[in-house]
């Protein structure tokens, strides 16, 4: 089966402590194809609040691969 994973949308909080544009939820979709069969699954993921001083990537700098890895 071949699967294609896509981040459909992300919601973020404008501020969280001293951080800005913090992603809190993402909607993802996976499309699968095998021979003549197609399937799609869709869901959401919620993320914990990032720790102050920890590793943080602002919304504008996120890649689809990074958010998919979180999901």
Whether the pTM exceeds 0.75: the reply is yes
The two three-digit tokens of residue 47, written as one number: 């993320």
List the strands of the sheet with 37-46, edge to edge.
2-16, 19-34, 37-46
Interval 46-62: pLDDT, tens? 999 888 778 888 899 99
Interval 2-35: pLDDT, tens? 999 999 999 999 998 889 999 999 999 999 999 9
């Amino acid at each position: 089966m071949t699967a294609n994973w896509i981040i459909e949308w992300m919601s973020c909080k404008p501020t969280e402590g001293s951080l800005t544009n913090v992603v809190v939820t993402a909607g993802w979709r996976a499309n699968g194809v095998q021979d003549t069969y197609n399937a799609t699954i869709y869901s959401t993921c919620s993320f914990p609040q990032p720790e102050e001083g920890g590793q943080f990537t602002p919304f504008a700098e996120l890649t689809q691969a990074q958010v998919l890895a979180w999901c």
